[in-house]
Chains A and B, each alone.
Chain A
Amino acid sequence: MAAPVNGPGTDPRAALAPGAAVPTRRGTELLLLGFAVLITLAAHLIIDITVTGSPGTEMVTFGVWFSALWGVAHVVVRRFAPYADPLLLPCVAVLSGLGLSMIHRLDIAGEQFGGNGAASVDAPVQLVWATVGLVLFIAVLVIVRDHRALSRFAYTLALVGLVLLALPAVLPNSEINGAKLWIRFGGFSIQPGEFAKICLIVFFAAYLVDKRDVLALASRRVLRLELPRGRDLGPVLLAWVASILVLVFERDLGSSLLLFGIFVVMLYVATERASWLVIGLLLFAGGAFVAYQLFGHVRVRVDTWLDPFAYADTGGYQVVQSLFSLGTGGLFGAGLGGGRPDQVPVAKSDFIAAAIGEELGLFGLVAMIVIYLVLVERGLRTSLVVRDGFGKLLAAGLAFSLAWQVFVVLGGVTGLLPLTGLTTPFLAYGGSSLVANFGLVALLVRISDAARRPAGAAATTPPKLTDAPTEVVQP
């Protein structure tokens, strides 16, 4: 956990005698990756044997491909980010492996029972998307040798992010299940919002580092809160309006909530002013109230959230089925291949957590949540340790975005929060989400490499004097 680590102790270099070699921990990473691959292949095998009685023909192909994927990822990290946090990649590997196994399991159920709509074989497609994701991962690590370089493109990325965000609202034919989140071309549909999220986080980080001093200026104190000057409210209001626009034009409660939450938290981290959190919360409450009053789809979501069983056949159907799935799974689960997770609508994407809860039980689901927690906390730890302000804020934003998304999605699936259309990172079926999140992890790996690299070790690009941390004494 990042929290208890304090002061200079957060800097791994401080614990070592000057000049001593910092362990890269790549061996640990390789071992854990091997473990993740093993878990995935075992899950695959168990599913095949339980459901069909023998290992599927694609087992070997899948095994080789999936192992190769992480082997390559490991080699690339070893070469281009040798000091990267050794836990980031294995967490992603085990989550995506679990996701692939579950999608494969639901593919089989689709063949068996017909399922909801046409049975389709999605696991191989997802594996291809994971491969595309890996390509992006490698590209980011190879091209972005120093994360600080990204801040130079902040405004370009902001523009790209906004365009991506707005695209589905403008384009026709973008509506799936009532939310306009998709752009389609050829046989593909992609969800640009996932990429927009990363672009905007990079922009937020650069912008906030730049403006943090101004935004941290207090004009007056009210009830122990130091309120910012009125004219500095601009950016937060802008983010708020953008979120509302997303909600109105794309009917996407999830992205709206996600972006606004990320922005407010990053603002808080940058300025160290709790007043921003309060302002954000008030704006959120106001926005939520207005949205509830004005938009039918928001009202339906909230009503079904409050009492899903009252709408068990209509709006609450998905959540109720998800709760049945989880409840039937119980403590130990039905075992892989032993349940009926296909009874839950869109189990491969939105409700994949319910499928995991049904077949792997409470233990499996909690283990999955804890893996996310480890991933997020490692990201936040990177943020604590990294020297430059931009890197700190970027890592915090990326890690928190993962946490916030997982919380909102799983909260929705388990009835804790209203249901949103967000996807479960790395687990859920869907190319855009998987590829984008691989990019996100690549950035985290890049920053964690910078965070852990000994000051004397050759950086890929020499740090500018202005960015150099002041507390480091060069040996």
Chain B
Amino acid sequence: MNAPLRKVAISVLVLFTLLIVNVNVIQVFRADELRADARNTRVLVEQYDEQRGSIIVDGNEIALSEATDGPLTYLRRYPQGPLYAPVTGYNSLIFGNRGLEEAVDEVLSGDDARLALSFRRLTELFTGQDLSGGSVELTLDPAVQAAAMSALDGRTGAVVALDPQTGAVLGLASTPTYDPNLLSSHDPGAIRAYAEELEALETDPRTNVAISERYPAGSIFKVVVAAAALATGEYTPETVIPAPQDYILPGTTTDLQNFGDRPCSPTGEQPLIEALTISCNTAFAQLGIDLGEEAVREMAEALGIDGTGFDIPLQVEGSTIGDIESDAALGQTSIGQRDVALTPMQAAMIAAAVANDGVLMNPYLVESVQAPDLTVIDQTEPEPFSEPFSAEVAEQLTQMMTNVVDEGTGRRAQISGIEVAGKTGTAENAGPDHNWFIGFAPAEDPSIAVAVFIRNGGGTGGDISAPIAREVIEAHLQGGG
């Protein structure tokens, strides 16, 4: 019987070798894939063992972690969930981190290098205590954020408000919104159910309209073209430019019309300031063509419209004016149509550059980073992004934009006692028109620049978006800003 016994012994060796080869495959070659699999909750669960840092607005926590009795030690809570959802994002067992939860995850989870130097962190490291994360204090003005979200009133749209002098984001609203608490619970079934509910909506509320989506800019882009014209030094607000009723785009038979096909002026020409005030399409198309693609493109790029986007540290999608193949295309581009696509954040930055004497500041959302013991370990210093035009040009643009609100298309943004500067935009697209308004106030010493965007609002920027801007500006100025 010994011969078959030896064969059995060898077979056992082979079977066990198979087992060993198989665990090698699993634990070495497939390890990374298995570890990173979204259904492997281990890595995520590990995060729930540590107290995640808070997100703070004006001294109040808008996202915080609280100890629970459940198997996951800490639960993420958003006391004003829907109000700040476009900023905070969520911290989900199933979908991972989004929004600021993702963008500043290293600070919140305690992995950021800046935190490593804090004393408490070091003692935690050596005593083996649970490490807790750092907190971030935001630049948001709660009054602005609340006014923006309530003024949007359930429509699909966005409001971005900046402090033009620093670039600090005062408000970042995107609607429709959602409740991040329901995506951050510890109940996978409830999370999935809520996510399905959101997905079923016409617009998934998790899409951040303010920074993640780009839309045709319409007439707000005329500010960029006006800036390019003034920057040449050959134009002033009083320079009279051609403003016919109809303008056949060069090299084509396309008839570019004014809004409602109305004449801009009985004489077929008007001062630049007048053209902006009534938002004359034929005047700006021709002005853009006269300036040339290079001048328009340089001004747009200096204002940040260069396709690359920003990191505030939320990711802002890059805005673009697209490729311009011909003068005809340049004419359409100059009134913000064709391939001009801006994020609401980018639109607000145009207004902010004018408001800050021609210096465009880098937008930022995080005021400071705090260690778990609340000592400030990093403070954001405002930095200029570019100087697209001179203070003198800014002055002239301010004068023109003030005129838009005083007696032009932006009248509904007027606030008694305060000079508001602005520009409306009504952008054509496949659906009902998008409605834009960009502006700032007070015009003489601006403390807030805003962009309001309503997707497929169907009316005009002056009718729909200007009043929202007014409410947001009022909220800021009344709040002592």
Residues of A near B23 (CB, < 8 A) are: 326, 357, 362, 365-366, 369, 414
Contact (Cβ within 8 A) A414 B9: no
Q: In the complex, how many angstroms separate the beta carbon of A169 from the nearest chain B beta carbon?
A: 29
Interface SS, A side: helix
Contact (Cβ within 8 A) B34 A323: yes
Partner of B8, one of A115, A265, A320, A331: A265
Q: List 28 A-B contacts (CB under 8 A).
A: A3-B10, A53-B128, A114-B70, A114-B71, A268-B4, A269-B4, A324-B34, A324-B35, A324-B42, A326-B26, A327-B40, A328-B31, A330-B27, A330-B31, A331-B31, A373-B16, A376-B12, A380-B8, A380-B12, A389-B1, A396-B1, A400-B8, A406-B16, A407-B16, A407-B19, A414-B22, A414-B23, A415-B22
Q: Can you name 15 extra interface pairs (CB under 8 A) apart from A3-B9, A268-B8? A: A115-B71, A323-B34, A324-B40, A324-B42, A326-B26, A327-B27, A340-B45, A362-B24, A362-B27, A366-B20, A377-B13, A392-B1, A403-B15, A414-B26, A416-B18
B41 on the A face (CB < 8 A)? yes
Partner of B42, one of A2, A114, A328: A328
Residues of B near A339 (CB, < 8 A) are: 42
Contact (Cβ within 8 A) A327 B3: no
Q: How far is the CA of A416 from the CA of B128 in the complex (A)?
A: 39
Q: In the complex, how many angstroms separate the beta carbon of A136 from the nearest chain B beta carbon?
A: 25
Most buried by A among B19, B34, B35: B19
B28 on the A face (CB < 8 A)? yes
Q: How far is the CA of A10 from the CA of B71 in the complex (A)?
A: 56
0/1 interface trace, chain A 408-452, chain B, CB 8 Å (1 if under): 001100111000000000000000000000000000000000000
- Contacts A269-B8, A361-B27 hold; do A326 and B34 have CB atoms under 8 A apart? yes
0/1 interface trace, chain B 60-83, chain A, CB 8 Å (1 if under): 000000000011000000000000
Number of interface residues of A (CB under 8 A): 55
Partner of B22, one of A272, A373, A392, A416: A416
Residues of B near A414 (CB, < 8 A) are: 19, 22-23, 26
Within B229-249, the residues touching A (CB, 8 Å) are none
B37 on the A face (CB < 8 A)? yes
**Residue of A whose beta carbon sits closest to that of B30:** A327
0/1 interface trace, chain A 98-124, chain B, CB 8 Å (1 if under): 000000000000000111000000000
Q: In the complex, how many angstroms separate the beta carbon of A367 from the nearest chain B beta carbon?
A: 10
**Residue of A whose beta carbon sits closest to that of B25:** A414
- Contacts A330-B28, A343-B42, A414-B26 hold; do A270 and B1 have CB atoms under 8 A apart? yes
B261 on the A face (CB < 8 A)? no
Contact (Cβ within 8 A) B1 A328: no
**Residue of A whose beta carbon sits closest to that of B70:** A114
Residues of A near B39 (CB, < 8 A) are: 312, 320, 324
B197 on the A face (CB < 8 A)? no
B202 on the A face (CB < 8 A)? no
Residues of A near B10 (CB, < 8 A) are: 3
Residues of A near B28 (CB, < 8 A) are: 330-331, 362
Give the interface size class of chain B: 35 or more
User: Which A positions have Cβ atoms within 8 angstroms of B?
Assistant: 1-3, 10, 53, 113-115, 265, 268-270, 272, 312, 320, 323-331, 339-340, 343, 357, 361-362, 365-366, 369-370, 372-373, 376-377, 380-381, 383-384, 389, 392-393, 396, 400, 403, 406-407, 410-411, 414-416
Contact (Cβ within 8 A) B71 A113: yes
Q: In the complex, how many angstroms separate the beta carbon of B223 from the nearest chain A beta carbon?
A: 53
Residues of A near B18 (CB, < 8 A) are: 407, 411, 416
**Residue of B whose beta carbon sits closest to that of A385:** B2
Q: In the complex, how many angstroms separate the beta carbon of A120 from the nearest chain B beta carbon?
A: 16
Contact (Cβ within 8 A) A1 B9: yes
- Contacts A365-B23, A414-B23 hold; do A269 and B31 have CB atoms under 8 A apart? no
Q: How far is the CA of A324 from the CA of B36 in the complex (A)?
A: 9
Partner of A329, one of B4, B19, B24, B27: B27
Residues of B near A331 (CB, < 8 A) are: 27-28, 31
Q: In the complex, how many angstroms separate the beta carbon of B262 from the nearest chain A beta carbon?
A: 62
B5 on the A face (CB < 8 A)? yes
Q: In the complex, how many angstroms separate the beta carbon of B148 from the nearest chain A beta carbon?
A: 40
Contact (Cβ within 8 A) A269 B5: yes
**Residue of A whose beta carbon sits closest to that of B34:** A327
B325 on the A face (CB < 8 A)? no
